[in-house]
Amino acid sequence: MINQLRADLYAIGRTGPVLICLAVAVLAAALYTVLQHSLAAGDLGPEAASGVQVLSDALMVSLMGPLLFGALVAQPFETKSVHDSLLASGRGAFVGAKTVLTAAAVTALSLPYGIAVLIGLATEQEFAPAIPTAFSQLLAAGGGLDGGRVGEILAITAAMAVLTTAKLSVCLPLAFVLRRPLVVMAIGFVWGFLADLIGSTAADVEGLDALVHLTPFARDHVPGLDSTGGDLVGTLAVSLVFIALMGLVSWLIFRRADVK
């Protein structure tokens, strides 16, 4: 598994998708923060908010997350590099490495938004959320930055990033089944928007609410300003267990699957 990870990291450093997605996330987070300030300062009218939303973490990660699952998991089936991976370390190690790598890469997409919040707060300017995501609300809440506040924002950022990754980790088994990057990306993108809706609908059904609470789709797992340390740990735990579960499902799917 270590060899697979080393090889994947080497490939990531020399091929486009992951680095491009990370660069886009950094640019989008920076631009989103600036535009939220413009909304608050009145440089942009309220009617521009819907346009600014496009740059939010909610949309960008939902768009680029499935792309990364497609590029990192499904692409090796198209290039046939999976052949050597299976010879080198076997199916379990391949699934394990892909689970760790995709989780890390998709989580990294959210981190620029957390850093942008820190920078935004450090400027002590006003910000207006274009869409009420956790990052936007942190930014809009304002307040100075001290050690405790920085720690709080970093903890919320980490929890939010891992939670978003967990929601999208459904793309992992999907990539092992479909093995086509574009199809994974398309389905994953739609899923990114439907997941919360399905989760909140299911949570309203009596008997299902307890089950939904054990998944990252429960609304009360979304971290915010009023989240306690226990809430964040709970969010992280549910998210990591769910990602591991998706890894297990992927292995069950792939362990006896034919590879073209």
Burial of 125 (0-12, 13-18, 19+ CB in 10 A): middle
Is the distance from CB of 21 to CB of 69 less than 8 angstroms? no
47 binds another protein (CB under 8 A): no
Nearer to another protein, 94 or 113 (CB): 94
Does the protein bind another protein through residue 3 (CB under 8 A)?
A: yes
Residue 19 sits in the site that holds another protein (CB under 8 A): no
Residue 155-194 contact track with another protein, rule CB under 8 A, x = bound? ----------------------------------------
259 binds another protein, rule: CB under 8 A: yes
Using CB under 8 A as the binding rule, whether residue 147 contacts another protein is answered as no
Is residue 6 a contact point for another protein (CB under 8 A)? yes
Q: Please say whether the dihedral angle defined by the alpha carbons of residues 79, 164, 159 and 144, taken in this order, is positive or negative.
A: positive
Among 38, 48, 53, 90, binds another protein (CB under 8 A): 90
The least CB distance from residue 67 to another protein, in Å, is: 16
Min separation Cβ 10 and another protein, Å: 5
Question: How far apart are alpha carbons 92 and 84 in whole angstroms?
Answer: 14
Which of 5, 34 has the CB closer to another protein? 5
Q: Which of 4, 33, 56, 215 binds another protein (CB under 8 A)?
A: 4
Answer for the pair 182, 17: CB distance below 8 angstroms, yes or no.
no
Binding mask 49-88 for another protein (x = CB under 8 A): ---------------------------x--xxxxxxxxxx
> Which range of residues in 1-9, 112-120, 142-150, 185-193 is near another protein by CB under 8 A?
1-9
CB of residue 71 to another protein, shortest distance in Å: 12
Residue 31 is a binding residue for another protein (CB under 8 A): no
**In the bound complex, what is the minimum distance in angstroms from residue 158's beta carbon to another protein?**
29
Q: Does 23 bind another protein (CB under 8 A)?
A: no
Binding region for another protein (CB under 8 A): 3-4, 6-7, 10-11, 14-16, 76, 79-91, 93, 256-260
